[in-house]
Structure 1
């Protein structure tokens, strides 16, 4: 028999079923909104230009007899090896393209919700904080992965197809794992970086200033520190320098700076962890209005 309740409010005594894809509608909406922003599609298209150039280099390297006029004096440029893939994943132009796209489509991921007091609306549904953050992070992961992981893997496949054999794979059997590891680290860093910047203000223009300001100031700080101390450890101040140093370790090539690559790895890992803690603290289901 069903019990007779008195008039008034009663908590629901049912049980929510866990859905591992609860975050996906948030990510999907964020991706659609990004593509709807002015100039985003144009910038997204041009961001694949470096990958196309690298694909052409792979083709030419396998058809040197047809491109002798290019091959003369350009042997090193046309060598496809671990350093080739490392150079793609550490291109300053690639990082700049990610910053441009994320400033247009990712700066307001958290800032806009803070501005419009929309966070409480998300948590009015059966949604956890982890689902909310994962949904927002999914937007950055999608675009960053599309510019790093996807082209790098396709370039690797193109190399095998144009070579017509598995000799390249047998020479570097670990290379595909290096590509995956390096790409995932870049994705993780930019996800943490953009979400952290977006959580620091409810104005997307300020967030954009933070993104570019921190990125370029880190490079300026590296230059100033090196000019004063003449130490290779000055590279630890630079975002791009740290990513390049880690990539060199993953691809087992000579690092650009004379210090162990794992120092940069520890620094980037610490940054990502602290960024997660800060973002998690900034996102609150209930806001106290003073």
Structure 2
């Protein structure tokens, strides 16, 4: 019997599958690695990790490198919480993370808005939170692969070369600090990028905004500080705010002489606003099933 109407509701039973967001993540990871300049940027981002591994090796083989080091051991060869803070909050690593966000994340939602793909996504048995999780997981993969993974590799290499657990006995909280700060960076960069990606249909425009705001915030802080010399002006810089939180996480002296929680509050406030805006943008797409 041929139905008279061109559209009918599906009468079957929906079988929910585990990890419905994974196909979105997998597809966007493949698309990211196919982009022209992404692979060199991603590989270059591991350069600091390589040098830090070399530093760990030298620190455990000082007798073989006495000709390179005169006097007392340099501070950068001391493998302690400050060593991990210097890696995770280095200017170079944070800058490379921004470049990766620009390359891999600018079009995550913007391209879907441009091609009206959200209606197609939500016409399928896919919840909006699964869609967002699939997109954010792409960025989380890149951030964690450059923060959490190398930092734990540093610990393993240090333990192997030292032949003891002195590092963990001296700083038993270090692994938790690495996990906490890596997740903090991941949350910030994911929400920072998807926030701007959800505001425009033009991924090139989003790329410029994501890069420019990070750079301009640091430039504005440097410019105003040069005139007024007020430490609280550092709160204008996204980079400095991230470094202030890192100093607290690893029990180190803050970069600027201001309480770390102001920087934490600024980052958390931005992430909260970004979450609300992203959810509202996605919520606007309602599909009648």
Q: CA deviation at 1:75?
A: 2.1
After superposition, where does 1:28-107 map in structure 2 within 5 Å?
28-73=26-71, 74-107=73-106
In structure 2, the partner of 1:252 is 251
Aligned partners of 2:8, 2:193: CA distance in 1, in Å?
A: 41
Residue in 1 that maps onto 2:157: 158
Tell me what 2:221 maps to. Answer: 222
* 78 and 128 in structure 1: CA distance in 2 versus 1, 3 angstrom threshold: same
Please state how far the C-alpha of 1:208 moved relative to its aligned partner.
0.9
Matched residues in 2 for 1:228 and 1:18: separation? Answer: 59
CA distance in 2, matches of 1:157, 1:209: 38
Say what the alpha-carbon RMSD is for the aligned residues: 1.7
What's the offset of the Cα at 1:17? 4.1
1:136 equivalent to 2:98? Answer no
Mapping for residues 180-195 of structure 1, pairs under 5 Å: 180-195=179-194
Secondary structure of 1:70's match?
coil
Alignment TM-score, normalising by the size of structure 2: 0.92
Check whether the contact 1:235–1:242 (CA below 8 A) recurs between aligned residues. yes
1:102-141 mapped onto 2 (5 Å cutoff) = 102-141=101-140
Alignment size in residue pairs: 282
CA contact (8 A) 1:71 1:78 kept: no
Asked whether the equivalents of residues 24 and 134 of structure 2 are also in contact (C-alpha less than 8 Å), the reply is: yes
Quote the Cα distance in structure 2 between the aligned partners of 1:259 and 1:109. 36
Which position in structure 1 is the counterpart of 2:285? 285
1:201-226: per-residue Cα shift (whole Å, max 9, x none)?
11111011101110011112212332
Q: How does 1:253-268 map to 2 (within 5 A)?
A: 253-268=252-267
Deviations 1:81-107 (A, max 9, x none): 100000000111111211222212211
Q: Output the TM-score relative to the length of structure 1.
A: 0.92
State the SS of the aligned residue for 1:68.
coil
**Separation in structure 1 between the aligned mates of residue 56 and residue 180 of structure 2, nearest angstrom:** 22
Give how far 1:10 is off.
5.6
- 5+ residue gaps, structure 2, are none
Match of 1:19 in 2: 17
Give the 3-state SS of the residue equivalent to 1:258 in structure 2: coil
In 2: Cα distance, 1:67 partner to 1:88 partner: 22
Match of 1:3 in 2: none
Contact 1:50 1:94 in 2 (8 A): yes
Alpha-carbon distance, 1:286 to partner:
4.1
How far did 1:111 drift?
A: 0.7
